Amino acid sequence: MDRDTRQTRMVDTNFITRDDGGELTIEGYFAVFNSNYEIFDGMSESIAPGAFASSMGSDIRALINHDTTLVLGRTSAHTLELREDEHGLWGRVSINPKDGDAMNLYERVKRGDVSGCSIGFAIKSEETDFREDGSVHWTITDVELYEVSACTFPAYEATNISARTKQRDDILARSLAAWKTKTKGVLHHGTESPAAAQED
């Protein structure tokens, strides 16, 4: 997958709203480590612990539905706090009571109407695992995090599914080409290429 391509990953979570003496916050996990996210039939991925470590000093925004005009908070303004722990990427957003969009989201999260979350990032490194059942799994080990969002519908975007499908097909094609070169196109009785077995 193109490491420069901006990715989004969305999951359902349990945000918590707090009102500490008039200071309103929304907090929860924007990503969970070692949890399998089903991308599409036969394709899945997970995020490894430590994947966000290199981004923790970056200037990251909290948005609503990835809309850059609806900024809830920002790490450089100390209105967004992010940290990694053993469970995943945790965050807390300080809600501006003078911002109508932020207050509307706060009330929707409080009622349970909005429970989805998402992250916007670029993949810096990952591991690919072709499994015996023909499925493929990616473990993301390092990302460049741009933003976190509270979202209405937690789901993979079609562009991300398409990119992962192309990545899978490209790897299979390279594997098959390498195997054909190694065997000079000759199949011995009772043998089968690993890539061909994956395609069955």
List, for residues 34-59, the tens digit of each pLDDT value.
988 887 778 888 999 999 999 999 99
Helix then strand then coil, % of the chain, to nearest 5: 25, 40, 30
pLDDT digits (tens, 9 = 90+) for 112-123: 888 888 888 888
Please tell me the pTM assigned to this model. Answer: 0.73
pLDDT for position 84:
95
Residues in the chain: 200
User: What is the arithmetic mean of pLDDT over 150-164?
Assistant: 59
Q: What is the CA radius of gyration of the chain?
A: 21
Q: In this predicted model, what pLDDT tens digit does every residue of 166-188 receive, in sequence order?
A: 666 666 666 566 656 666 655 55
Residue 50's alpha-carbon distances to 60, 76, 85, 149, in angstroms, are 17, 21, 9, 20
Q: What is the mean pLDDT of the chain?
A: 80
pLDDT of residue 139: 94
Q: Answer whether 178's CB lies under 8 Å from 193's CB.
A: no
